[in-house]
Amino acid sequence: MTAAQVRTESVSFVSDGVRLRGELFLPADSHESAKLPGVVVSGTWTSVRQQMADRYANQLAGRGVAALSFDFTGYGASDGEPRDIESAALKARDIHHAVGFLAGHPQIDAERITELAVCASAMYAALNAVDDPRVRALALIAPWLHDGALVREMYGGDAGVAERIAAGESARERYERTGAVDYVPAQSPSDPAAAMPMVMDFYENPERGAIPEWDNKFAVMAWPEWLNFDSISLAPRLRVPTLLVHSEEAAIPDGARRFHEAIGADKEIAWIAGTQFDFYDQQPVVGEAVDRAVAHFERYV
């Protein structure tokens, strides 16, 4: 199918009292009485749905799958304060309620709900999947999966990690005392305090990720939870069939390998060509990742 054969519905649902907003992508030829498989789609850290999740959801719907893309609590069009808090626990909670929204939708088969997560949201989708029996299969695309060892490797060793954690703890104390939130850019090639302090065309290019809906903000108090989160430890707890699609050219492939090895369920890892940012918005990489995800879902769901 092509994008012209996809229709969308603007939707909202509540996640622990917070109103979240998104789009439900449906095959255009699906009837209201049809019961479609449903996928909750999520994008990388700090992102809004228009940057990559919408693209994946559109392509999934073009292949006959209903796909929900939404903004997390405190991001994009969704409610929630403070804004731009990168929290694995919070985002996993939102995914849990997104699954609930799909399970209650009249066009979705509640017995065929899956998750597709790009980059860092692989950690959050996995966190939900280990305890959510409604999730029947999982596809992790260019997954960022870290533990303490990989965090130290990526963030300047013990000293770099300790510096960020100290900054985060100080920002948390200030927020709890005054209500003020300390922010740094999510991405900046000129600010060493940015969460991603490097040149990244995707985030700097208005034709790609530098869109008006994205605030390019990172709440400093999020560092401790982010850096201390051990996603690799989730793998042995997974009991749903899990696919990883990754590349040796993309971010921390060792994390994907170690996560895959530790999964306690049916599993597959597919290595394709492409950089990390190719998986966000470039063809044929996105299309191949979607094709593999759909084949995985069809096999198990």
Confidence of residue 29 (pLDDT cuts 50, 70, 90): confident
Structural domain of 295: 3-146+230-300
Confidence (pLDDT) at 202: 98
Confidence of residue 174 (pLDDT cuts 50, 70, 90): very high
> Which pLDDT tens digit goes with each residue over 267-285?
999 999 999 999 999 999 9
95: CATH: 3.40.50.1820
Q: How many structural domains are present in the chain?
A: 1
**171 lies in some domain:** no
**121 lies in some domain:** yes
Q: Is 79 helix (H, G, I), strand (E, B) or coil?
A: coil
Mean pLDDT, residues 32-54 taken together: 94
Confidence (pLDDT) at 2: 46
> Which pLDDT tens digit goes with each residue over 68-127?
999 999 999 999 999 999 999 999 999 999 999 999 999 999 999 999 999 999 999 999
Confidence of residue 34 (pLDDT cuts 50, 70, 90): confident
Confidence (pLDDT) at 30: 81
The DSSP 8-state label assigned to residue 72 in this structure reads P
Answer whether residue 3 shows pLDDT above 60. Answer: no
**9 lies in some domain:** yes
**119 lies in some domain:** yes
**153 lies in some domain:** no
Q: CB–CB of 39/22 below 8 Å? A: no
**173 lies in some domain:** no
Q: CB–CB of 50/42 below 8 Å? A: no
Q: Is 71 helix (H, G, I), strand (E, B) or coil?
A: coil
Q: How many Å apart are CA 161 and CA 258, to the nearest integer?
A: 21
